[in-house]
Amino acid sequence: MQIEINELYADARNTSFKPKSGDFVCAKFSMDNSFYRARVENIVGNNCDVTFVDYGNKETIPLSDIHPMERKFMNYPQFGIECGLLAYPPATPVEKLQSLISENSIRATMVKEDNKKWLITLTEDFNGNVAILELLRQHETVVPRSIHGNDTF
């Protein structure tokens, strides 16, 4: 599917298509200049905020790099699954979290679904399956958020 999408849109420039919020489109990703399936989130001037449905990336794309998605590409399910970290506070230091997971073997365990979003836990495979939250606690002062509406976990 991905090869076919890029063969179809690689040399095309959109001059007339005006997507609406919620539309499924094919959009050019700036990091590799390849086209991927995306959903339009917002339109501002000559740009669209999109979510790439098979990967989860979000990006602002010029309208000239957005094309209507052919029906045959809509027959495939979205390959990306929206996830959130279970019991991680919003103030978790993002840079430290990225450094802990970017160069290590990480295991994600889906714990439960909450409003079409899977809540997961992350563990390091090489370090005795230590929860990433525990590693963050060793480096930062992190207060976990209760998932039960009280102070127990």
Which one has a higher pLDDT value, 2 or 124? 2
CA atoms within 13 A on the CB side of 142: 22
For residues 135 and 131, give the distance between their C-alpha atoms in angstroms, rounded to a whole number: 7
Domain count, the chain: 2
CA-based nearest residue to 65, from 122, 11, 106, 145: 11
H or E stretch covering 121:
strand 117-124
Q: Which of 33, 52, 75 is the last residue of a domain?
A: 75
Q: What is the pLDDT of residues 12-50, one digit of tens each?
A: 777 788 999 999 999 999 999 999 999 999 999 999 999
pTM over 0.75: no
At residue 152 the predicted structure's pLDDT band, cuts being 50, 70 and 90, is very low
More confident residue, 122 or 148: 122
* Residues 53-82: tens digit of each pLDDT: 998 889 999 999 999 998 888 887 777 777
Q: Which amino acid is at 23?
A: D
Range of the domain at 115: 83-138
Do 53 and 89 share a domain, yes or no? no
